[in-house]
Amino acid sequence: MEPKSYHMSPEEFRRYGREVVDWIADYYERIEEFPVLSRAKPGEIRAGLPEAPPRTREGFDSFLADISDKILPGVTHWQSPSFFAFFPANASGPSILGEMLSAGLGVQGMLWATSPACTELETHVLDWLADMLELPRQFKSSGTGGGVIQESASSAALCALLAGRERATAYASNGAGCDGRLTAYASTQAHSSIEKAVRIAGIGTDNLRKIPVDDAFALRPDELARAIETDRKAGRLPAFVCASVGSTSSNALDPLREIGRICREAGVWLHVDAAMAGTAALCPEFRYIHDGLELADSYCFNPHKWMFTNFDCDCFYVARRKELIDTLSILPEYLRNKATESGAVFDYRDWQVSLGRRFRSLKLWLVLRWYGVEGLQHHVRRHVAAAQEFAGWVRDSEEFELAAPAPLNLVCFRHRGGDELNQQLMDRLNASGALYLTHTRLEDRLTLRLCVGQTYTEKRHVQAAWQRIRETAAAIQGESAAT
């Protein structure tokens, strides 16, 4: 006989929900037992899955066992405290619970009217964060600006670029197509998402000027000013500059104040990308990284990188929301409603690329309430201190050297033995499963990056990493001496 309904009943949800929460708690208790970098070969995970979808109801019973047996081998453990690769993508207990609530409510908050709490909590929490980071007043909703959660720093950069493009062309590009004279600027070290945004916005990679950097890999303002001037004289239309606070390769801090002055003078949109490093500004002693931010038109940082908040959560601020809204707003008949027409509310669909949006501020709210400002500061400081200690060990060692200044929680370093040795070292370390770190190229030399930012990373994990790095390098050298 057919069941009355195939849905999960509240009672079943309660039971299985508890099992899922237990599974997640067990996972965190055991996380250090797993190899940090997945050892799965291409196609291996799919090969373990049934070829066809279930025709009849399977229910929940074997689901968690399958997660453990079939999925975990293909998981790289981003939440392992020995994850030092890329920049982190953090999670934490409160954030996971916030995500659950968001999924449970299942709200789609494209308009204020489609769930007022979704919009208002987001505005409120982003204003809190602006205060916590001591961002300039212009970014708060009580002024001309305001904040919005985007799924990523890439999306934030794209929105900023589109707004810069529109402002530069008096809002004509959206209608008549992109002006082929537009140019954009970012340092050679800026994140690839800027070049991607330039492509998506129809400005074209050839019109992105990659500005040279100084010895600390920070954008050179004199070169920026020169590039803008050259373009202007050639009849081009400079529209957008992206400055990085904590570049991906080396955590370089672009000089915002000087860049900001140049942008103001030239009337060019300045976006500041502080995707990971922005979190450091929770601590007063690190707020120097934002010096000059009041000259920016937009700013973003990702709590989903270093502020213990599950992906996805990028906080994007604009100084004049009208410019963003005029760029992205489009109002079909079926979305018209009284609240929108009253002008008294934010409709966040006008602040982002997609229409639909999740109730992401819940997880951020719970993270802020759980940790408090002091708790967040405590953990950020510990991460920076552990990274600084690691940088000190590198500095004092004879075999290794620092490849860039390490102002915060990213240390770029290399063995003095050359690219091949560094490549082997990284491959072996990652294959060991004990830790995971990634590389970049600085001054055309292979450089290892160790980023201390995973929620649960403590000094002992960094110490263990350093010991393994040294031992592995010595073993490789020993082997090559023997052959």
In the complex with ligand PLP, the residue whose CB is nearer, 244 or 472, is 244
- 80 vs 152, beta carbon nearer ligand PLP: 152
Least separation in angstroms between residue 272's CB and ligand PLP is 10
- Tell me the HSE value of 163 on the side-chain side, using a 13 A CA sphere: 30
Dig out the tokens for 253 from the structure.
């801090």
Query: Cα–Cα distance between 12 and 15 in angstroms, integer?
Result: 5
Among 224, 275, 345, 411, binds ligand PLP (CB under 6 A): 275
Q: Provide, rounded to whole angstroms, the least separation between the CB of residue 384 and ligand PLP.
A: 17
160-174 burial, b at 16+ Cβ within 10 Å, e below that, comes to bbbbbbbbbbeeebb
Q: How many residues sit close enough to ligand PLP to count as binding (CB under 6 A)?
A: 15
Q: CA 231 to CA 206: how far, in whole Å?
A: 13
Q: Could you say which residues in the range 305-324 bind ligand PLP, by CB under 6 A?
A: 314
Residues 197-256 that bind ligand PLP (CB under 6 A): 244, 247-248
C-alpha dist (Å) from residue 377 to 373, 380, 454: 6, 5, 14
253, 275, 247: which is closest to 160 by C-alpha? 275
At closest approach, how far in Å is the CB of 392 from ligand PLP?
A: 24
Of 108-116, 147-155, 369-377, 455-463: span binding ligand PLP (CB under 6 A):
147-155
What is the C-alpha to C-alpha distance for residues 338 and 328, in angstroms, rounded to an integer? 20
Among 80, 119, 302, 430, binds ligand PLP (CB under 6 A): 302
Least distance in Å: CB of 474 to ligand PLP? 32
Residue among 193 and 361 whose Cβ is closer to ligand PLP: 193
Which 330-359 positions form the footprint of ligand PLP (CB under 6 A)? none
Total Cβ atoms within 10 A of residue 204 = 14
225: which DSSP letter? H
Which of 96, 153, 182, 362 touches ligand PLP (CB under 6 A)?
153
We find the least distance from the C-beta atom of residue 245 to ligand PLP, in angstroms, to be: 8
DSSP code of residue 279: G
Candidate ranges 139-147, 149-157, 233-241, 357-365; the one touching ligand PLP (CB under 6 A): 149-157
Amino acid at 202: G
Where does 9-92 have alpha helices with state H?
10-30, 44-47, 63-66
Nearer to ligand PLP, 225 or 272 (CB): 272
CB atoms under 10 Å from CB of 48, counted, come to 14
Taking residues 255 to 274 in sequence order and writing x for each that binds ligand PLP by CB under 6 A, - otherwise, the string is ------------------x-
Contact 451, 409 (CB under 8 A): yes
CB-nearer residue toward ligand PLP: 160 or 266? 160
Using the rule CB under 6 A, give the single segment among 3-11, 120-128, 146-154, 359-367 that binds ligand PLP. 146-154
237-244 and 182-187 beta bridge pairing: parallel
Work out whether 440 is an interface residue with ligand PLP (CB under 6 A).
Answer: no
Q: H or E stretch including 271?
A: strand 269-273
**Residues 86-145 within binding reach of ligand PLP (CB under 6 A):** 86-87
Q: Are 454 and 80 in contact (CB under 8 A)?
A: yes
Q: Of 26-34, 151-159, 371-379, 431-439, which part binds ligand PLP (CB under 6 A)?
A: 151-159
Instruction: Figure out which of the listed residues 182, 225, 276, 446 binds ligand PLP, where binding follows CB under 6 A.
Output: 276
Q: Residue 80 and residue 436: Cα distance in Å, rounded?
A: 9
Q: What is the largest CA-CA distance in the chain?
A: 79
Give the residues lining the site for ligand PLP (CB under 6 A). 86-87, 152-154, 191, 193, 244, 247-248, 273, 275-276, 302, 314
